[in-house]
């Protein structure tokens, strides 16, 4: 791969309690260095708060900007992004200032995925959707330096660059259209079925969205499908409960829409239910090309780090993607 091609990585920094956060961060920084060497052009890190009850793993990074600033200082060339910054939990001025500071510290190599937060239902979910839109309405004038509404002036001077690198991660039609009208880029995540993602992307475009769209797929690659499954099975057992279990909202909605089977029976059906692409380089390349065709994304991000998956497995999967998968899917993304 060549640096600058439209493929990045998403790290949710999920791990089991027996692994310390310090060890996980050290491992992740090593992965990020390898990603830069292999030609991936971006790494995004998820934002997670607190230890959830009843789950065997959890995300460790409550403030991704701090880790990303450290990574950018040590690793040249590639971009670093928030995947995603939860806007309803912070004030507009604080969010805008943090974005501008990360943009400054990275020398303009920062992306800003922004979202509403997950795990909320009913009235609380609707409330957060409204707050998300309100935050955007407050943040964008701050970045534009617009003082017409008696807004304060930020102490940083390149809000335009931050604005150009904003990516909205929202799913309700009102918020998607809102982001499109504001000129934001759009991102769809690893938890969603490709056909559901295609519907969101279509709505974004029909609402006037003219930015780029990036899509995330969970991927694991080995020399053969049999080896890939043997190595990935323990991680999948944990990951699939969260992504495709009975309480997983995106999966439930996809089942109700007829996009997924209600009760998967085979390993392939379970992998499809959890939106995991697994196999040999040729098999993964074919599946990713199909994914790009279905969704129409402009960029691809790979979720490659999973709880209980050893670092050497993650890194070999990254290397196989760069050397054997990317040459096969490059035409789908760059029109070669």
**Domain range summary for the chain, segments of one domain joined by +:** 7-220+281-328
The whole-number pLDDT of residue 306 equals 97
The whole-number pLDDT of residue 246 equals 67
Task: Please give the average per-residue pLDDT across 229-244, as a whole number.
Answer: 93
Q: Nearest to residue 277, comparing CAs of 328, 285, 192, 223? A: 285
The whole-number pLDDT of residue 297 equals 97
Mode of pairing for the β-strands spanning 110-115 and 79-86: parallel
The CATH classification number of 7-220+281-328 equals 3.20.20.30
Each residue of 56-107: pLDDT tens digit? 999 999 999 999 999 999 999 999 999 999 999 999 999 999 999 999 999 9
Task: Please give the average per-residue pLDDT across 234-262, as a whole number.
Answer: 83
The whole-number pLDDT of residue 3 equals 61
Task: Please give the average per-residue pLDDT across 206-212, as a whole number.
Answer: 98
76-80, 116-120, 248-252: least confidently modelled range: 248-252
The whole-number pLDDT of residue 257 equals 81
Alpha helices (H) along the chain:
21-38, 64-74, 92-105, 122-144, 159-164, 173-181, 194-206, 225-244, 249-256, 267-273, 281-295, 311-320, 326-334
Q: What percent of the chain has pLDDT over 90?
A: 82
66-80, 142-156, 221-235, 269-283: least confidently modelled range: 142-156
Is the pTM for the entire model greater than 0.75? yes
Mode of pairing for the β-strands spanning 42-45 and 7-11: parallel
**Model confidence at 260: pLDDT above 80:** no
Q: Nearest to residue 303, comparing CAs of 212, 241, 250, 232? A: 232
The whole-number pLDDT of residue 258 equals 81
Task: Please give the average per-residue pLDDT across 129-152, as a whole number.
Answer: 92
- 197 token code pair: 């993602």
Q: How confident is the model at residue 54 (pLDDT cuts 50, 70, 90)?
A: confident
């Amino acid at each position: 791969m060549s640096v600058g091609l439209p493929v990045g990585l998403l790290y949710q920094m999920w791990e089991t309690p027996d692994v310390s956060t310090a060890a996980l961060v050290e491992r992740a920084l090593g992965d990020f260095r390898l990603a830069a060497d292999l030609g991936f052009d971006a790494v995004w890190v998820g934002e997670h708060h607190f230890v959830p009850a009843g789950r065997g793993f959890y995300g460790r990074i409550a403030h991704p900007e701090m880790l990303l600033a450290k990574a950018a200082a040590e690793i040249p060339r590639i971009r670093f992004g928030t995947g995603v910054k939860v806007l309803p939990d912070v004030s507009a001025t604080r969010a805008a200032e943090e974005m501008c500071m990360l943009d400054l510290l990275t020398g303009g190599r920062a992306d800003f995925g922004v979202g509403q937060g997950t795990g909320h239902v009913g009235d609380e979910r609707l409330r957060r959707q409204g707050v998300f839109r309100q935050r955007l309405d407050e943040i964008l004038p701050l970045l534009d330096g617009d003082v017409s509404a008696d807004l304060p002036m930020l102490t940083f001077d390149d809000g335009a660059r931050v604005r150009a690198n904003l990516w909205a991660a929202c799913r309700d039609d009102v918020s998607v259209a809102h982001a499109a009208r504001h000129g934001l880029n759009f991102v769809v995540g690893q938890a969603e079925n490709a056909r559901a993602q295609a519907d969101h992307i279509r709505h974004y475009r029909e609402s006037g969205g003219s930015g780029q769209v990036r899509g995330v797929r969970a991927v694991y690659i080995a020399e053969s499908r049999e080896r890939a499954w043997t190595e990935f099975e323990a991680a999948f057992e944990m990951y699939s409960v969260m992504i495709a279990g009975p309480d997983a909202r995106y999966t439930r909605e996809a089942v109700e829409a007829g996009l997924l089977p209600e009760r998967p029976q085979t390993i392939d059906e379970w992998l499809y239910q959890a939106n995991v692409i697994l196999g040999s380089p040729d098999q993964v390349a074919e599946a990713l090309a199909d994914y790009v065709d279905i969704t129409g994304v402009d960029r691809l991000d790979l979720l490659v780090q999973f709880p209980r998956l050893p670092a050497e497995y993650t890194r070999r999967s990254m290397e196989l993607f760069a050397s054997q998968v990317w040459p096969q899917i490059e035409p789908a993304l760059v029109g070669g």
